[in-house]
C-alpha cells in the first residue's frame, strides 16, 4: 500500500532506539546528521549506540520537536552522496567559519522529538515528492520507485510493528504510550496550546 511522503508519530527513548535499530539492521539507509557542528565534518552514525553517544535520544531539551535532526541516504535511492561545505560569517557565528550539510532530492528526513517536562513532542519521518523535487530541480539521480519502496517499509514498521496506540492519525509507540497514559501530553511542541488525544483501547 502506498503511503504519504510524511509520517508523524510519538516516541520516547526506547521507541526511538527501536526505529534506529530497524534502520541500521534491516535497511540500506545510511544515517547522517542534517548539519555538522561548526568547523567540523558531517557525522555519519553506524549504530544506535553511536548516535546516542552524540545526542540525548528520547529527550527534547527545547520542546520544539526537533531535538535530533537526521538525514537518511540510501544507495538504492540516490546515485550520489553529496556533502557540501558552506561558509559561516565568523562575526555572527562566534568565530566559526564553516559547516557541512548533506544534500539531495532523494534524502529522507528523520526528526526526533521526545520528552520535555510532562510532554512528549512529535517525531517525524518524511521526504520530498518527485513533483516537488523536480520543481526545485533536485530530482537528478533519484530512483523514485526505490524511494517509495524504502519509505513504505520504514513507515509500515513504525505504524504496524512498533506502534502500540494512536493519537488521531499518529502512531504512538510503546514507551510514549505508557507516558501518555500516565498523564503526559502528546503535542507537536510544548508551546502548542492543544494536545492530541489517545484513541480508546480496543475492547477486542
Task: With a cut of 70, say whether residue 203 has pLDDT above it.
Answer: no
Q: DSSP alpha helices (H): ranges in 57-143? A: 130-135
Residue 107 to residue 109: CA distance in whole angstroms: 7
Bridge partners, residue 70, by sequence = 33, 110
Cell numbers 508519530 correspond to what residue? 9
Q: Is residue 23 part of a domain?
A: yes
Q: What is the pLDDT of residue 204?
A: 45
Task: With a cut of 60, say whether residue 6 has pLDDT above it.
Answer: yes
Q: Is residue 155 part of a domain?
A: yes
Range of the domain at 128: 6-29+46-75+109-187
Q: Is residue 204 part of a domain?
A: no
Strand ranges (DSSP E) for the chain? 6-10, 30-33, 44-45, 68-73, 82-87, 98-103, 108-112, 114-116, 119-127, 165-167, 170-172, 185-187
Find the mean pLDDT for residues 7-20. 98
Which of 51, 6, 61 lies closest to 31 in space, CA to CA? Answer: 51
Q: Is residue 139 part of a domain?
A: yes
Q: What is the pLDDT of residue 2?
A: 42
CA angle 26, 30, 34 (to 5 degrees): 135
Question: Count of domains in the chain?
Answer: 1
Q: Model pTM?
A: 0.93
Q: Is residue 198 part of a domain?
A: no
**Residue 202 exposed, middle or buried by CB count within 10 Å (0-12, 13-18, 19+):** exposed
Q: Is residue 71 part of a domain?
A: yes
pLDDT tens digits for 61-113?
999 999 999 999 999 999 999 999 989 888 898 889 899 999 999 999 999 99
pLDDT band at 140 (very low <50, low <70, confident <90, very high): confident
Amino acid at each position: 500500500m502506498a503511503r504519504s511522503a510524511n509520517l508523524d508519530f510519538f516516541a520516547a527513548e526506547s521507541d526511538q532506539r527501536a526505529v534506529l535499530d530497524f534502520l541500521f539492521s534491516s535497511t540500506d539507509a545510511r544515517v547522517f546528521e542534517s548539519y555538522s557542528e561548526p568547523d567540523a565534518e558531517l557525522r555519519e552514525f553506524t549504530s544506535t549506540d553511536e548516535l546516542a553517544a552524540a545526542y540525548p535520544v528520547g529527550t527534547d531539551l527545547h520542546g520544539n520537536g526537533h531535538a535530533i535532526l537526521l538525514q537518511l541516504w540510501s544507495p538504492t535511492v540516490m546515485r550520489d552522496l553529496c556533502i557540501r561545505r558552506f561558509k559561516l560569517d565568523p562575526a555572527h557565528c562566534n568565530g566559526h567559519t564553516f559547516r557541512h550539510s548533506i544534500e539531495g532530492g532523494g534524502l529522507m528526513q528523520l526528526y526526533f522529538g521526545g520528552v520535555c517536562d510532562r510532554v512528549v513532542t512529535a517525531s517525524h519521518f518524511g521526504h520530498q515528492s518527485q513533483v516537488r523535487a523536480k520543481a526545485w530541480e533536485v530530482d537528478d539521480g533519484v530512483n523514485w520507485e526505490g524511494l517509495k519502496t524504502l519509505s513504505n517499509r520504514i513507515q509500515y514498521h513504525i505504524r504496524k510493528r512498533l506502534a502500540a496506540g494512536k493519537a488521531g492519525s499518529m502512531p504512538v509507540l510503546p514507551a510514549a504510550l505508557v507516558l501518555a497514559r500516565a498523564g503526559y501530553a502528546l503535542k507537536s511542541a510544548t508551546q502548542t496550546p492543544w494536545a492530541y488525544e489517545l484513541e480508546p483501547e480496543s475492547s477486542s
